[in-house]
């Protein structure tokens, strides 16, 4: 299907339409050999609450963003190289159905589809694209993944000390290493994790001690990580977990609050052929 669509006018028009919907805030998406394979609305588990997001599946990247005006305007564009992606199917919860996790070295998050069929389609297409990319580049599947952030509402107390109770005055924080919801006293340290960010990031006290021990062990063994294999496609970096809500301004979103995303009669995703 990729070879069939790669140099067609319809594929060029589809990609141009996606670029137009993101406007000047988005990155250019049209490169030789890139094919838009499908698109749809998935519910993304964000820090504060689940939110609808538009997703576009290309043969080498996954693009998603916030919905401002459905099918006309999106913002907060995120680009994830598929070579870095690993998928994990998750069980349903009372609030979310048809869930799975998208895991990368810099960011991991949970999404859900409108139906079980759509989840199967998304996972099937994603896995096929990842398989082809890894064969093409000779890379091995990624084994290091960023921890997904536990939603704020999952706990009312610090998940480390289990004593501090959160309130309007006592803020929740997230450890960038384990993703736990922690209080300020349990996350005063910062640690440089180059895979996630060029700047030192907030970590909980336990992860800080573990990271220090790992750093000391690596220094003693004088280990050096091999340079990553280059790729002919543009080098996109998946964004880190801490930006998932900075751009998620509810006031900027005009998506109807009462929209039902699990209505069986409605299909929220489509894949091209």
What span, in angstroms and rounded, lies between the C-alpha atoms of 76 and 57? 16
Quote the distance between the C-alpha of residue 46 and its chain's center: 10
Contact between 114 and 262 (Cβ < 8 Å): yes
Average pLDDT over residues 1-9: 76
**Which of 263, 14, 246 has the alpha carbon at shortest distance from 115?**
263
Kindly state the tokens that stand for 241.
């977990």
Q: Which pTM does this prediction carry?
A: 0.76
Nearest-angstrom CA–CA distance, 175 and 183: 10
Q: What is the mean pLDDT of residues 14-35?
A: 94
Residues 233, 126: Cα–Cα separation, whole Å: 18
Output the pLDDT for position 224. 62
User: Can you tell me whether residue 14 is helix, strand or coil?
Assistant: helix
- Which CATH number does 149-220 carry? 3.30.40.10
100-120 average pLDDT score: 94
The contacts of residue 45 (CB under 8 Å, 6+ apart) are 96, 99, 109, 110, 111, 112, 151
Average pLDDT, rounded, for the chain: 84
**Overall fold of domain 3-145:** PH-domain like (2.30.29)
Q: Where are the domains of the chain?
A: 3-145, 149-220
Alpha-carbon gap, residue 118 to 57, rounded angstroms: 13
| 244 pLDDT higher than 60 | no
pLDDT at 45 > cutoff 80: yes
Give the separation between CA 270 and CA 169, rounded to whole angstroms.
Answer: 44
- Residue 1 pLDDT grade (very low, low, confident, very high; cuts 50, 70, 90): low
pLDDT at 166 over 60: yes
Span 171-184, pLDDT tens digits? 999 999 999 999 99
Provide the H-helix boundaries in the chain.
Answer: 2-5, 9-22, 116-137, 205-221
Q: What integer is the mean pLDDT of 19-31? A: 94
């Amino acid at each position: 299907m990729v070879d069939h669509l790669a140099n067609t006018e319809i594929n060029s028009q589809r990609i141009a339409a996606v670029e137009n919907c993101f406007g000047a805030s988005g990155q250019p998406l049209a490169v030789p050999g890139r094919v838009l394979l499908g698109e749809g609305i998935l519910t993304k588990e964000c820090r504060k609450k689940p939110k609808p997001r538009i997703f576009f599946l290309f043969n080498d990247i996954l693009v998603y963003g916030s919905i401002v005006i459905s099918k006309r305007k999106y913002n907060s564009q995120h680009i994830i190289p598929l070579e870095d992606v690993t998928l994990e199917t998750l069980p349903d919860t009372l609030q979310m159905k048809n869930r799975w996790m998208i895991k990368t070295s810099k960011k991991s998050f949970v999404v859900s589809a409108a139906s079980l069929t759509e989840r199967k389609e998304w996972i099937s297409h994603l896995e096929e694209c990842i398989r082809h990319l890894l064969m093409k580049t000779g890379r091995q599947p990624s084994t290091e993944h960023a921890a997904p952030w536990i939603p704020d509402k999952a706990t009312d107390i610090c998940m480390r000390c289990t004593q501090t109770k959160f309130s309007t005055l006592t803020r929740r924080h997230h450890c960038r290493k384990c993703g736990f919801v922690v209080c300020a006293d349990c996350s005063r340290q910062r640690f440089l994790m180059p895979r996630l960010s060029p700047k030192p990031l907030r970590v909980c006290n336990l992860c800080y001690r573990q990271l220090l021990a790992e750093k000391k062990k690596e220094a003693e063994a004088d280990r050096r990580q091999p340079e990553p294999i280059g790729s002919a496609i543009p080098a996109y970096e998946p964004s880190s977990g801490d930006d998932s809500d900075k751009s998620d301004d509810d006031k900027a979103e005009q998506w109807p609050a009462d929209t039902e995303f699990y209505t069986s009669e409605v299909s929220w995703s489509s894949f091209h052929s």
